[in-house]
Amino acid sequence: MKTVLFSDFDGTITEQETFSLLMKEFAPEASRRIVPRLLSGETTLREGVPAILETIPSERFPEMVARMRTMDLRPGFPEFLDFLEQHAIPLVVLSGSLVELVMARLAPYRTRISRVVAAHAETDRPLLRIRSETAGGDELVHKAAVMREYGEALKIAIGDSVTDLTMAREADLVFARSLLARRLSNENRPHVSFETFFDISNYLELFLRNKAVHG
Ligand SMILES: [Mg+2]
């Protein structure tokens, strides 16, 4: 059976929750107003994230992209891409952020990533406009629905937040840190904790070897 790896971006591939940082920096007023409503569940991600981003002038988008390029990636990411290549495992990045921001940071690795799924920013009007081809339910990017497109495969998920819960539920093996790890622990759902991509490579190395031996 084919193996496919699905990874969140902000706070997972990046060290920090970069998307929230950018929203606070470029849309401070809307973030103050809407983020608490997102956290309390009064507003969905599908409504709340565009409501914040669409207050940002389009002419500031290049600054956001430039800021994104300065963000640190989690240690071991390039080596992890080597590992996936050796094992012929495609990497699909599933992000509730914007393709333009994700790709700004991942541009050096573009050819090594199978697919990036996120929302899009349109900059042809005075204020940003957000578009998503994969919105579903309450989510701006319905991560689990994208995973289902891959049909019969061994699905591995990596994430850090409650926005990755649907992805975790869809996966056969989950690597989790931060809030996602705590939520999965509370629900008694099996997962592997990680802090760096070296942790994940090390675990997967053994996992795949065992699978090759025992099926
Ligand atoms: Mg995240």
One-character DSSP codes across 9-45: -TTTTBSS-HHHHHHHHH-HHHHHHHHHHHHHTSS-H
How many A from CA of 186 to the centre of ligand 1?
19
The pLDDT value recorded for residue 1 is: 87
Which two structure tokens, joined as six digits, stand for 62?
A: 């290049």
Residue 39: the pLDDT is 85
User: Would you state the pLDDT for residue 26?
Assistant: 98
C-alpha 213 to ligand 1 mean position (Å)? 34
Give the span between the Cα atoms of 69 and 113, in whole angstroms.
17
Domains and CATH numbers, the chain: 3-214 (3.40.50.1000)
How far, in Å, is the centroid of ligand 1 from the Cα of 57?
25
Which helix (H) or strand (E) element contains residue 147? Answer: helix 143-148
pLDDT per position as a tens digit, 11-38: 999 999 999 999 999 999 999 999 999 9
Residue 101 Cα to ligand 1 midpoint, Å, equals 14
- CA–centroid distance, residue 12 to ligand 1 (Å): 6
In this prediction, residue 215 carries a pLDDT of: 72
Residue that has been written with the tokens 């090594």 in this structure? 112
Residue 6 CA to ligand 1 centre (angstroms) = 12
Distance 72 CA to ligand 1 centre (A): 14
pTM of the model: 0.96
Mean pLDDT in consecutive groups of 10 residues from the start of the chain, 215 residues: 96 96 97 93 94 98 98 98 97 97 97 98 98 94 96 97 93 97 96 98 95 82
